[in-house]
Structure 1
Amino acid sequence: MAERSTVRSVTYDLLRTLGLTTVFGNPGSTEQPFLQDFPEDFTYVLALQEASVIAMADAFAQVAGRPALVNVHSSAGLGNAVGNLVAAYHGNTPLIVTSGQQHRELVPGDPYLANRDAVELPRPWVKWSYEPARAEDVPEAFMRAYAEALQPPAGPVYLSIPMDDWKRPLSGFTRVRTVSTRTAPDPRRLRAFAERLSASRRPALVFGPEVDRGGGWDGAVALAEKLRAAVYGAPLLDRASFPEDHPLFGGPLGLSVRTIGDRLAGHDLVAVIGAEVFRYYPYVPGDYLPAGTGLLQITGNPRVAAAARVGDSLLGDPGLAIELLLDLVEDGSARTAPDPMPRPRVLPPAPNSPLTPPEVYATLSRVRPADAVIVNESTSTMAQQLEWLPTTRSGSFFATASGGIGWGTPAAVGVALADRERGVRRTVVGLIGDGSFQYSVQALYTAARHELPVVYVVMRNHEYSILKSFAVLEETPGVPGLDLPGLDIASVARGFGCHAVDVETTEDLEREFKAALDAGTTTVIVVPTQPQKAML
């Protein structure tokens, strides 16, 4: 006898058609009617806390190049997830986040575990938030969620689904659609931008995360070389979009209004492609641009364009815009080549104890495989990471797009899972601070269960070092809670099933890292380090 067609069976058929057969989740009681008799052709990735669920799915979707499906629990689980949902929103990651709602019969009485004002809770960090009015509308809601998540600017969406909807009879759903994922820039305005770039005496290019997300890495290199323009990294990058060892690369712009303005001095025109203008933090007053400097912005996100404090914006896919600009701009070989970023790379004559972050990164630079991926959430040492471990390949650097911590540890899991699904073998290196590591440490369970080739290097400086740097800048002495004594990170990691070691010297670090490359599972290496004052 054939199985009765229900909202659940019809929805699963639609999910298969859309390629959404991996579900990231942490199950709750209101989600069980959706998850019951879980299909053998679907994969369920269990994370032990909803913040980790979102970050894993976020990184997975970025690497896999398609939306990821997330299932968390009602309002309580969704509340846990919101912190990393902010990162997915800022990173334009297409996620379909679902949660169960209480039984429709009970909802009017505000029952336990009801998702009160369900569509309001995840706002403003989703593009679309919806709870179907009827059970029969569930498949169509998924179809629209898929379209909303993918269409530019991509981003997370949310569906709240009453738990009794899944068993309602439904004959089928056939209105499967496809949507566009790229928008072309206005040709006339793009030509005007090209003319200004061609006429510039000393142009600068700032490539942001949208470029790498859109496959524009090679085009960015070609454009910089044709214009012979200096290239800077956009502030607080969550994806690198230009090889950081290239002779035209001048380093990061900085974080404050004053620092960025000073950094751009001497350039008569700055083209910001695929980035905000700018991600400012902290507030240090100054000129947004040096006198006499113009700014052009190309972004696929209208909110990012509208929020720019200076400059002229053009909406359109940055990768496509770069391809078109290559044919429109004039050759800049007559320009004087900009000075490359200085790389002092100074190490002490004798090793320190504890080690300094540059000593850790110098060691990793000798043993890191060329195709390794870096996921960085050691916020106080990112300048040293850039110096010693520059990103030289597309899709090989990831960081949080929101500034909140607790993203990096589970994101490394998502990268490794997506690589495995794509049939790609490469080591994922998670560079995590000891403070950051505590926010999503339960992600180690998922990494160990899936035997993922992730090597976490945790720098143990016994404090929230980045916050102490901000305390100096903001002149706020005596802030409590910035020290972190008594953490036994290796023991916790072993408890989750990982291989974990404490190391003290560069020789120990090199040996254990090499061993981790062949371990066939997840390794956590804990390195005591001296606090590093962040470059703000």
Structure 2
Amino acid sequence: MNKPHDPKADNQAKTLYGSDIIADALREQDFPYICLNPGASYRGLHDSLVNYLGNETPQIITCMHEEHAVGIAQGYAKVTDKALAVAVHSNVGLMHASMGIFNAWCDRIPMVVIGATGPIDAAKRRPWIEWIHTTTDQAEIVRGYTKWDDQPGSPEAAVETIRRGTQLANTRPMGPVYLTMDVSIQEQELTERPQFDPIEKFRTPENPEPPAGALEAAIDILAKAERPFIFCGRSSRCEKAWAERIELAEILNARTCAHMKLPAGFPTTHPAFIGETGWRLKGKVLEAIENADAVLMLDWLDAGNALKLAFPQGKPRPPVITVSNDFQIHRGWNMDYGGLPAVDVNIPTVPETAVTRLLEGLRPLRKKPAPAAKRVWKATAPAKSGPIGLMDLAHAFSLASEGRKITITGRPLGWPTNANVIEHPFDFLGHTGGGGLGAGPSIAVGAALGLREIGSDRLTVAILGDGDYTMGLTSIWNAATEKLPLLFLVANNHSYYNDEEHQIKVAHKRARPEENAPIGQRMQGPEPDLGALARGLGLEAPEPVTDLADLPAALEQALDRVAAGAAVVLDVRVKQEYIHAPMQEFD
């Protein structure tokens, strides 16, 4: 993006400003990018990024909306497990960004959000505009869903703020931080360059080791278990940790499940895997849990309510081991922490560290069985012609993506469970976190950016509902500006269908006509032309797919174009329905 011809080296003998010091503090964190929508409250920092640093490390990614800037940072961190920098303009930009920050908070995603404000010193404010853009305690807007916030009073203090904020954001349980930079400290002239301790002195701390007593108790329970069950919850994208989770399941002869709203936790083709689940435990997943003689919960989302659903009061329950340090950031503003789990052993660290130590204790006690054959994935070609259902789309996508290295950044509500082959931690990156509609497109852009940053040749695919796509639409422009290979596969039912289902349920309960459920829900009269919108933003978009007969070829062609480096939007017209069933059934 537009690198100036004469960066930092030409500025050494000239006046130094506070924002130059702040820019240096961002560079030393090795942020490759800073996502932003321009704003006057950080005009000084913007100048420093461009004319002092030369628009390199970090490089500016110009976004059309602050919420998209945050979403791109969220998608990037879903791949890299590292915070990216974001800048938002004053109170108005922060209010735009707040939904994205809430998503990142619920998703336990790190990011460093640089905010700004008009001068706190009223004597320095420009009339009107800097008065409405100056807020006392601006961070209060997002304090309930950030790990930390600060408003330093000098450029020197801003360096410590960025160092502390980045360290906190990247320490698990991870989350966003919000750092407010007063216009005055950005534009302050400095007579000499401040001196600081080297950045190497401020590394992110390592994850804590499990307490010896709790670890010993967990090993004792698992060593004796014959039918253990493992809830594979929040985890990093580390391949070593992925392999160790598989080894733990094999050594225990355990059954496992993964959460459909979390990034990939266990391979769906492994014989230990029973299925994906949300908060509704049912079918073979519930049967396996009920049949277990030990339960291990690896940072499971809403562990307390999962246990209540599986083992209601008065029902016999096996010993339960939980591994999580999520409690360290539970706050009072929102109840994203879920129910309080009743457990027998509590290991307060991250799953990766705990699994390593559990394996060290269990290997001498339990013999690892011979490797089992992978499950054969069953996807069937759709019928020759006719309207397209969500299950049809899931089967067709499974067939079209076979043999390709694909990262799925999200799936729409109503998508069937067990519908995607997941054999690597990058195969599926989970949900938006906070359920914020409109985040799917920008998260996909960020994920593609992260994959490029780590040198991956994977294809990025966002399977979106049309509501998510249209609400987050302008963020797809960044797929074009950054030349990212990316497929936006839109399951387009012309409706905010989740609420249609709610209206049907309300109508049944109140004995009112369910045929009125679509009123106020449909995107019709006229229907938005999703392909035309995409082409106007610089992406490729073939004609909409309306018939089953055309679906396989359209998916193959779209994936081929992405493999060739293109950003593509494929509009697939689907029935108004949700699939309340798995695509694959596992024993």
Amino acid at match of 1:276: L
Q: Which residue of 1 aligns with 2:3?
A: none
Cα contact 1:15–1:21 (8 A) shared by 2:
no
> What displacement does 1:472 show?
4.7
Amino acid at match of 1:147: Q
Q: Find the partner of 1:96 among 66, 88, 112.
A: 112
Cα contact 1:261–1:286 (8 A) shared by 2:
no
Q: Find the partner of 1:503 among 524, 537, 545.
A: 545
Counterparts in 2 of 1:226 and 1:52: CA distance versus 1, 3 Å:
same
Offset from partner CA, 1:152-193 (integer Å, 9 cap, x none): 222110011111211222632413322314221112211111
> What displacement does 1:347 show?
6.3
* Structure 1 residues not aligned, in runs of 5+: none
Q: Is residue 309 from structure 1 mapped to residue 331 from structure 2 by the alignment?
A: no
* Structure 2 residues not aligned, in runs of 5+: 1-11, 331-336, 582-587
**Deviates further, 288-297 or 133-142:** 288-297
Q: Find the partner of 1:150 among 170, 177, 183.
A: 170
Q: Which residue of 2 aligns with 1:532?
A: 577
**Deviates further, 29-38 or 127-136:** 127-136
Q: Find the partner of 2:207 among 175, 179, 182.
A: 182
Q: Which residue of 2 aligns with 1:380?
A: 414
Please report the RMSD computed on the Cα atoms of aligned residues, expressed in angstroms. 3.0
Amino acid at match of 2:540: H
Mapping 1:442-453, distance limit 5 Å: 442-453=474-485
Cα contact 1:380–1:534 (8 A) shared by 2:
yes
Q: Which residue of 2 aligns with 1:323?
A: 356
**Deviates further, 195-204 or 212-221:** 212-221
> What displacement does 1:471 show?
4.3
**Deviates further, 178-187 or 197-206:** 178-187
Mapping 1:239-278, distance limit 5 Å: 239-256=263-280, 264-278=289-303
Q: Find the partner of 2:491 among 452, 459, 467.
A: 459
Q: Which residue of 1 aligns with 2:522?
A: 483
- TM-score normalised by length of structure 1: 0.90
> What displacement does 1:443 show?
0.8
Cα contact 1:257–1:280 (8 A) shared by 2:
no
Cα contact 1:357–1:529 (8 A) shared by 2:
yes
Q: Find the partner of 2:223 among 191, 198, 217.
A: 198
Mapping 1:360-371, distance limit 5 Å: 360-368=393-401, 369-371=403-405
Q: Which residue of 1 aligns with 2:321?
A: 296
Mapping 1:190-229, distance limit 5 Å: 190-212=215-237, 216-229=241-254
User: What is the alpha-carbon distance in structure 2 between the residues aligned to residue 198 and residue 286 of structure 1?
Assistant: 22
- For residue 2 of structure 1, give the secondary structure of its aligned residue in structure 2: coil
> What displacement does 1:24 show?
0.8
Cα contact 1:67–1:149 (8 A) shared by 2:
yes
Cα contact 1:276–1:308 (8 A) shared by 2:
no
Amino acid at match of 1:530: K
User: What is the alpha-carbon distance in structure 1 between the residues aligned to residue 302 and residue 110 of structure 2?
Assistant: 23
Q: Which residue of 1 aligns with 2:161?
A: 141
**Deviates further, 196-205 or 218-227:** 196-205
- TM-score normalised by length of structure 2: 0.82
Identity of matched residues, %: 21
Q: Which residue of 1 aligns with 2:41?
A: 30
> What displacement does 1:254 show?
3.8
Q: Which residue of 1 aligns with 2:8?
A: none
User: What is the alpha-carbon distance in structure 2 between the residues aligned to residue 468 and residue 534 of structure 1?
Assistant: 14
User: What is the alpha-carbon distance in structure 2 between the residues aligned to residue 263 and residue 224 of structure 1?
Assistant: 14
> What displacement does 1:311 show?
1.8
